[in-house]
Chains A and B, each alone.
Chain A
């Protein structure tokens, strides 16, 4: 990891209040005591299945969702607890790209206005300056100048996602959370958008948090990978270290479940016992223990800390019985 930390999250938890039978209130912890550091210029992939808390964590890092506990620093400045007015200048530095380019663009706004909206809000008052910036951004994401006059419905899925990227780049951010940016796109178009994101990241020295369930994309572009299960990071490592030597039994299962695009590859998924437990009522200790073949009494008693599994490299897992290589 590069020496300079851009994002530092410590013991971050996010709870939502839900009501169940009898109108009693229940706290539902979507993210539990997460420690996470992202270095400047890094591409960190956050992976996990639905309900693992990856999207909630991504939004909490941008303070689009308030944390219920813990602290988040952006370039050494504490952003949790910061008043909205004080947060606003920092908002320019942190942007998000959404999954669904059909739902995340206002259908009544022209593409140029969508891209310029952030500029307007953040005080680029001169219309000519805004138009020039929009033209520059359109070129940067591979669209034509006349696209500025179109409405989102006149664009293809890939083009819409390019607009979403241009909007995120408008204010020269340092940090971008890309939440499943290619999941709704067809394979041939998906590759175009992945390339574009990576090229922009290099050109503009961006830091990317890439939230996805597509592990093929992760292996292609991520420097490091964090795996989430039921609100916790269960493993974090350099990409190749994670794919080649997963330490957490859940990561191992996840990797073995990917159908590889190679008919000669062995497909031997490990059937997990049962289903992912409800986050309303997670198991004691390690949340994965109810489905884990390595679970012992210790796993039920105490949640395992996210500790280094091998001396010397940045590979940590939250497991009492990690897989040894």
Chain B
């Protein structure tokens, strides 16, 4: 944990995409009509890379993750687009085209997910060792004794001391940090190529969070998997991500390598978020912080044009409230969804 993984190097760019999402839309039918929870999302995650999906509540980040895992399944939810999972040589799997048995074979084996609240995600009446072994038995031609032995190895891998004793405990006997380690052990049981972590440390105390972040980072290094990390915490993003996609009201508004994003955010929303984040790492110059006025609109009442324009100090009437800007590429690594990103006022405010 002494250095960040140097994944921003050009060499990584040549690695294949494990996950590639194109034109993902998630529509939810409600009494007030159909909402668009995720609109035209496109991103990719490479081998050994961590992409952080950042946004405030209701931005659509969890819905994106659930859609990728094909867990956004309900009569009221309509998912369209392409979700390609490349698992080796040959053609990638389009997860949206798979039937139920085929997607079950993917979940937990090729792609796994860790959720925010480990207590509600674990089975309360099953010993944790058996829950891990169950994941292995479900996907591999292996007997229970061998699977239980692998479960012990996994408990050791996620840093749980005295694994044989712990494997016989029930979830309620473990602390929050321990439970999240067990969740990670289950997710990693079949060595997936893609790990989706949805706010995995949000419910944890800061010292425990630090340990779980360190664990995810070291396991990623060891196993070389792609990680899609969903969070609202810009501190966590800065410390764990290689690249970042910022979501606002269902759309990705900016994408950039982590250092570029923090050094020179292009979208006014990203700029506002970074300015409104109190930093424990430096003395406060004043007791004030620059907030973004207003709050994120409800998906049921999205403003016309750019969804951020009512809160944006640089919104231009007739343009920003008229059409939704496209996600425009800036070079190979960055993209921004703003009508006015080229204009000097925005560029000058980068470090504000």
Contacts and interface: CB of A to CB of B under 8 A. Distances in A.
Contacts of A158: 295
B99 interface: no
Interface residues of A, number: 47
Contacts of A10: none
Contact of A261 (B232, B277, B292): B277
Contact of A187 (B2, B211, B232, B287): B232
Contact of A186 (B57, B207, B210, B213): B57
Interface stretch (A18-26, A268-276, A301-309, A310-318): A268-276
B291 A258 contact: no
Contacts of B206: 49, 213, 215, 254, 257-258
B288 interface: yes
Interface stretch (B19-27, B37-45, B87-95, B278-286): B278-286
B138 interface: no
Contacts of A79: none
A257 B280 contact: no
A28 interface: no
Interface in A170-201: 186-192, 194-195, 198
A191 B295 contact: no
B289 A49 contact: no
A260 B235 contact: yes
A189 B296 CA distance: 9
A194 B289 contact: yes
Contact of A260 (B4, B276, B281): B281
A261 B238 contact: yes
Contacts of B210: 256-259, 267, 269, 271
Nearest to A223: B287
A188 B274 CA distance: 9
Nearest to B286: A220
Judged by DSSP, the binding face of B is loop
Nearest to A258: B280
Nearest to B59: A186
Contacts of A59: none
A227 B259 CA distance: 32
Interface string B232-246: 111111111000000
Contacts of A136: none
A266 B239 CA distance: 8
A263 B259 contact: yes
B278 A216 contact: yes
B270 to A, nearest CB: 11
B239 A271 contact: no
Interface in B289-320: 289-293, 295-296
A56 B210 CA distance: 26
Contact of B239 (A215, A255, A263): A263
B211 A220 contact: no
Contacts of A254: 206-207
B273 interface: yes
Given A188-B56, A188-B291, 16 more contacts: A188-B292, A190-B276, A190-B291, A215-B280, A216-B235, A243-B280, A243-B283, A253-B207, A258-B210, A259-B233, A260-B238, A260-B279, A261-B279, A262-B279, A263-B258, A266-B2
Interface of A: 49-50, 156-158, 186-192, 194-195, 198, 213-221, 240, 243, 253-269, 271-272, 275-276
Interface of B: 1-2, 4, 56-57, 175, 177-178, 205-211, 213-214, 232-240, 258-259, 262, 272-274, 276-284, 287-293, 295-296
